[in-house]
Structure 1
Amino acid sequence: MASLAGGGAGRDGDDDLISGINITPLVDIVLVLLIIFMVTATYIVREAIEVDLPRAAHGGEATGTTLAVVLTRDGAIYLDGVRRTEEELAARSREAVAKDQGTRAIISADRASLHGAVVRVIDVVKGAGVSRFAINIEKEP
């Protein structure tokens, strides 16, 4: 009888080991997928509107509420990644200034875009009440 009790106790011990679930591999897989998503998301966003920025040796960083205005080489205007007309750009700029007086505009113009088109975009943004703006550049190495 002693041998039966010993055998039964061994089986009860095995049942206690299986009662827990190890989630460490699941967490590892989720973290790897999160990192892959974060890295690929930056490439997806940057390829949305292709602009060849001019280079400059000295450039600063802007912080605060900003309007991202992009002017492509064919003259198309994008505001925060959405194609807009000049009228829509002016209306959205006025809305942003109404919410925050310190609104800034960062204008990214393709180096092949016409100077007159860049000046026109600056004029539209300033006419909407944005008093602070910057020209986006690519820093020279």
Structure 2
Amino acid sequence: MARRSIEIEDEAPITAINVTPLVDVVLVLLIILMVTATAIVRQADIPVELPEAETGDTLQKEQPTTLAVSIDHEGNIYLDAEKIELEGLRLKAREARANDPETRAILNADARISHGQVVKVIDILRQESVIKFAINVRPSDLSGAPKD
């Protein structure tokens, strides 16, 4: 019997990196980011000078909020960055409460506006059963040092 020798060619080493799994992971992360970004209620980009409070805490991003109400230094009311009148706020609060019984609101009021304007907004929210709300403030310096 004659021996046959079968020569197996050595395969060339792989010199390129397979990026397909990397692209798959990046696309999945991008989809997750896009889905979660739409669920986050954006704080309005309205210039508001928040009043200081020694008991104020920074708002935790994990808290679910539905309504972001802002009042600028001229007394204009904004709901999620859209200018709105008091009756429009009432309708939006009623609609949000109907869709979600746990509706919450965050109130960003400029320190220069009257107390009465803030009370009107809070009163409308409470009339529409939005009783869970927070008033945004800037935490003050707790050291007791005099301000400049």
TM-score (norm: length of structure 1): 0.65
| Equivalent-residue separation in structure 2 for 1:122 and 1:55 (angstroms) | 19
Aligned to 1:121, what secondary structure does the other structure show? helix
Q: Name the residue aligned to 1:103.
A: 103
Deviations 1:95-137 (A, max 9, x none): 1111121211111100001111111111111112211222111
Aligned counterparts, 1:45-124, within 5 A: 48-60=45-57, 61=59, 63-124=63-124
Query: Matches of 1:21 and 1:137 in 2, distance apart?
Result: 52
Alpha-carbon deviation of 1:52? 0.2
Identity %: 43
Gaps of 5+ in 2: 1-12, 31-41, 142-148
Please identify which structure carries the higher helix content.
Answer: 1
8 Å CA contact 1:105–1:133 kept in 2: the answer is: yes
Runs (4+) of structure 1 moved beyond 6 Å? none
| Structure 2: distance between partners of 1:64 and 1:17 | 50
Structure 1 gaps, min length 5: 1-15, 35-44
CA positional deviation for 1:65: 3.3
Contact 1:56 1:139 in 2 (8 A): yes
Native 8 Å contact 1:73 1:114 kept in 2? no
Query: Considering only aligned residues, what root-mean-square deviation do their CA atoms show, in Å?
Result: 3.4
CA distance in 1, matches of 2:89, 2:129: 12
TM-score by length of 2: 0.62
Contact 1:71–1:108, Cα closer than 8 Å, also in 2? yes
